Each structure stands twice: as C-alpha cells, then as structure tokens.
C-alpha cells in the first residue's frame, strides 16, 4: 500500500509520497515540493537528505551493520580478496572463477603507466602531500588515455585501467618521493603483493612477503571499499553529474577524501597518538580537551555521521591490529595508548551521550604502520581501497533513470536589491 506524509502549509494540505527501501529505510519524496508549495528543504551537511537510490552498500548506523551488495563486510573480510570485492561492488555480484581470472589478467595488463607520467611525478615539490599528487595524476590520466567512455565495453575498460594504474601510481609517487628507482608491476603477483613489492622492493633488499602482512592489506582495502553516500562519494557523484569523465570525478573524490574529518583522519589519529606519546602518554588529557567546547580539538578516529554505535569496520581493524602485531612480534606504544584512550572515552558520559565510538580510522593507522606504510601515505591507502566503491557509485549514477545534474538550492540571507554607487560618492572606503 502506498504511504504518504501530509504537509499543511498556508491553509493547504499536500500529500508527499514515502519511498521505502529493501531494508525498510523510509524517505519522503519531495520531488514536487517546490513546484507545488514554493518551499525547499534546508539541510546543511545533507544529514537528512537522500540524494539517490542505490543498490550498492547498505549500512545501519544504529545496529552497526555494513553490507556490500547484501554481503556483510565481516564475511568479505574473512573470505574474500580486495580484487574479488572490487568486482562485486562494480558488477553487482560475486564473479565466477573465469570472470575473476579475466579480471586479474586485465588488471595486470593495464598496470603500467605511461612513461611520460614519470616526469610529472618528478617535478612536484619534494614536500608535496601524496594525496595532492595522486588526485592531480588521476585527473591527468584523461590526457594520456583520452578514449571515449560511452559504450559499456569502453566504460569497463576505463574502470579496469583506473583500478590497475592507481595502485602503480601510488607506489610510484612514494618511490620518487624517496629518491628511489621506480619498481614496475610484476604480472606474476596478485593485486596486494604487487603493491607491496612496488612500494618496498629495492635493488639492495628484495621485499619478502609475509602472509599476515599481505592479508592485513587485503582486509584493510576490503574494509574501505565502499561506504555509501559519504563526503568523497558524494563528491564523485556531484562532479560526475555534470557528465565529466571518470578520471575527473574520481580525482574530485580523492580531493574530498584528503580532509582530516574524512579519509585524512587515519593520518590525524597517528599524529594525535604520537603527540600524546611524546608528551608523556597522558591520554586522559586528550579526552578532556575533546570535551571542552572552547577547545577546537577533537578526538580523531572517534565519531561518525551515520554510526551511533561501534563502527563494524573498527571492530575488525582492532582485532587485525592485535593479530598483525603479534604475528610480526612488534610492539607499538601507540597501540597501547589507543586502547587506553578508547577505554576511557567509551565509558565517559560525554562520549556516551554524543554516541561517539571509534571509527575505521582509529586503529587503521597502526595497521598501516606495522605494514611499513609512511604516515603521509595513509590517506592514499584509503583512496586505493575506496576506488571500487567510487567507481561503482559513478557507474550507478550514470545509469540512473532519475539522473539530474546536482544543483542544490539555498536560502538567501544577503542584502535586498541595492544599487551601484560610483566611487566618488562612496564614503568610508
């Protein structure tokens, strides 16, 4: 039975249809609101706004549920690989053995980047942040690979090429930033191994694969692969809605991800934990500062727009952190501080009242440190992981029958009509 919400305004009654998703999420359809009533909605930060219908990712922030194409992220973290999860997100279902084999071959075949791109990398100032380099280079891919992206075949080709090259470009930017020789991708290695080899292999010390490290990277990327309409994904959809090419839309998503309130939080968490460690380990002071309304400091890696309970990804990440450090026989003082800080925060009335729990970034930086990733590359690692999600969301938006260019309205609060004053008559300027 169709459901409606009734709106009474200036003596008139309007019926607004209710849309219901497959998991019983409900939304008011306001497509005709302005046309019929002259009203718009006001929702800064879009906290109550559904911008699209999507069949990719489901999350329930109250229950701590996250599923890609219906499959719980916990199951994917246990059984899947990043490559398979990418296929799932982009194509809507798990691949057959033959489809996965073909996908692997395509990823390997397109993993080289144009040699001319190396000069771009080399000419960025030494202190450039790798996220700035990566987003610029992804945008530049369009100049190197300007083929049309119109038919399904062309789009699939571009998508696979992007997945393959971003991993190479990320490792390349790291090598060049260190003044090391670039390591080329190897066709005999799987997606994660290839990345680790390109990052850490040197002519004097060949990289030795450790099973637990490879698996940790696999799980890290699976956990980051999609998260429905977050800030960077919305950037991809909004920029993509102007029908720009895929590279430009993904580059916009990368720029959005860079911020410390979003994907940059993994770097910010480790910097925060390091500061606490350097200043004697008093994590309680950080908790007190985060509660002080006169202090802009926030506990990085805590809180989430959607999760009002423990982020399910953070649970997996925390366990992985423990397992990885014990497998590598590593002791990281930042992990001890993180655990103590979490214990104090989750039992503190302020954090309980505000529903603030660790998010995916709280423990992910410690995992990345154990893998050997430098801190300024953390958000790049997130970006590689989020790539299949951005691609899936971009593809879905391109095929959306309700597609329209993103163009919100506003409530104007500036001056009413006023008139130009010639310079000679202006006073006090």
Q: How far is the CB of 315 from ligand ACO (least distance, A)?
A: 14
By residue count, the chain amounts to 429
In order of 31, 134, 178, 403, the CA distances from 34 in angstroms are: 8, 41, 55, 18
Q: How far is the CB of 83 from ligand ACO (least distance, A)?
A: 22
Q: How far is the CB of 62 from ligand ACO (least distance, A)?
A: 14
Q: Please report, as ranges, the residues that interact with ligand ACO according to CB under 6 A.
A: 45, 261-263, 265, 290, 298-305, 354, 356, 359-361
Q: How far is the CB of 250 from ligand ACO (least distance, A)?
A: 17
Residues with Cβ < 8 Å from 40, sequence gap 6 or more?
A: 33, 34, 409, 411
Task: For tokens 């909605």, name the residue.
Answer: 41
Q: Single out the residue of 385, 58, 357, 377 nearest to residue 223, CA to CA.
A: 385
In order of 26, 33, 277, 406, the CA distances from 39 in angstroms are: 21, 6, 53, 18
Nearer to ligand ACO, 180 or 354 (CB): 354
Q: Which of 304, 323, 332, 353 is catalytic?
A: 304
Nearer to ligand ACO, 161 or 304 (CB): 304
Nearer to ligand ACO, 77 or 172 (CB): 77
Check residue 105 and report its DSSP letter: H
Residues with Cβ < 8 Å from 360, sequence gap 6 or more?
A: 223, 224, 311, 313, 314, 317
Q: How far is the CB of 165 from ligand ACO (least distance, A)?
A: 24
Residue nearest to ligand ACO (CB): 303
Nearer to ligand ACO, 120 or 351 (CB): 351
Check residue 185 and report its DSSP letter: P
Q: Report how far residue 383's alpha carbon sits from residue 171's, in angstroms, rounded to the nearest whole number.
A: 13
Nearer to ligand ACO, 175 or 304 (CB): 304
- State the greatest distance between any 2 C-alpha atoms of the chain, in Å, as a whole number: 80
- Concerning whether 304 is annotated as a catalytic residue, the answer is yes
Q: How far is the CB of 308 from ligand ACO (least distance, A)?
A: 10
3-class DSSP state of 180: coil
Contact 232, 393 (CB under 8 A): no
Q: How far is the CB of 368 from ligand ACO (least distance, A)?
A: 14
Nearer to ligand ACO, 200 or 378 (CB): 378
3-class DSSP state of 279: coil
Q: Report how far residue 10's alpha carbon sits from residue 13's, in angstroms, rounded to the nearest whole number.
A: 8
Total Cβ atoms within 10 A of residue 155? 18
Q: How far is the CB of 301 from ligand ACO (least distance, A)?
A: 5
Distance from chain centroid for Cα 260: 12
Nearer to ligand ACO, 129 or 354 (CB): 354
Q: Which of 361, 399, 400, 419 is catalytic?
A: 361
133: left (phi over 0), alpha (psi -120 to 50) or beta: alpha
The enclosing H or E element of 60 equals: strand 57-60
Nearer to ligand ACO, 247 or 307 (CB): 307
- Concerning whether 102 is annotated as a catalytic residue, the answer is no
Q: Report how far residue 190's alpha carbon sits from residue 66's, in angstroms, rounded to the nearest whole number.
A: 26
Active site residue ranges: 304, 361
């Amino acid at each position: 039975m169709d459901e409606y919400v009734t709106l009474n305004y200036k003596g008139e009654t309007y019926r607004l249809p209710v849309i219901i998703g497959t998991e019983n999420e409900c939304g008011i359809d306001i497509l005709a609101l302005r046309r019929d009533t002259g009203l718009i909605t006001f929702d800064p930060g879009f906290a109550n706004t559904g911008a699209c219908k999507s069949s990719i990712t489901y999350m329930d922030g109250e229950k701590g549920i996250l599923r890609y194409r219906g499959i719980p992220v916990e199951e994917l973290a246990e059984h899947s690989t990043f490559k398979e999860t990418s296929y799932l997100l982009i194509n809507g279902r798990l691949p057959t053995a033959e489809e996965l084999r073909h996908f692997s071959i395509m990823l390997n075949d397109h993993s080289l980047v144009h040699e001319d791109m190396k000069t771009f990398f080399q000419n960025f100032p030494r202190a450039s942040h790798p996220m700035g380099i990566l987003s610029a280079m992804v945008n530049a891919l369009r100049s190197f690979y300007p083929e049309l992206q119109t038919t399904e075949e062309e789009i699939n080709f571009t998508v696979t090429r992007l997945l393959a090259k971003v991993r190479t470009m990320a490792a390349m930017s790291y090598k060049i930033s260190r003044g090391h020789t670039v390591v080329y991708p190897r066709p005999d290695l799987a997606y994660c191994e290839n990345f680790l080899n390109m990052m850490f292999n040197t002519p004097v010390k060949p990289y030795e694969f450790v099973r637990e490290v490879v698996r940790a990277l696999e799980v890290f990327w699976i956990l980051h692969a999609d998260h429905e309409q977050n800030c960077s994904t919305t950037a991809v959809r909004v920029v993509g809605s102007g029908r720009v090419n895929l590279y430009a839309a993904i580059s916009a998503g990368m720029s959005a991800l860079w911020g410390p309130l979003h994907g940059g939080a993994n770097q910010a968490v480790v910097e925060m934990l390091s500061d606490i460690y350097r200043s004697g380990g008093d994590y309680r002071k950080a908790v007190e500062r985060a509660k002080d309304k006169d202090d802009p400091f926030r506990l990085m890696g805590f809180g989430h727009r959607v999760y009002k309970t423990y982020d399910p990804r953070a649970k997996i990440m925390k366990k992985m952190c423990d397992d990885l450090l014990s497998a590598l026989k590593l002791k990281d003082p930042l992990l001890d501080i993180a655990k103590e800080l979490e214990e104090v925060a989750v039992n503190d009335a302020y954090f309980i009242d505000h529903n603030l729990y660790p998010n995916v970034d709280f423990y992910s930086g410690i995992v990345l440190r154990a893998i050997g990733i430098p801190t300024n590359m953390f958000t790049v690692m997130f970006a590689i992981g989020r790539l299949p999600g951005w691609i899936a969301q971009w593809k879905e938006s391109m095929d959306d029958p309700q597609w329209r260019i993103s163009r919100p309205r506003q409530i104007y609060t500036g001056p009413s009509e006023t008139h130009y004053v010639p310079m000679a008559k202006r006073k006090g300027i």
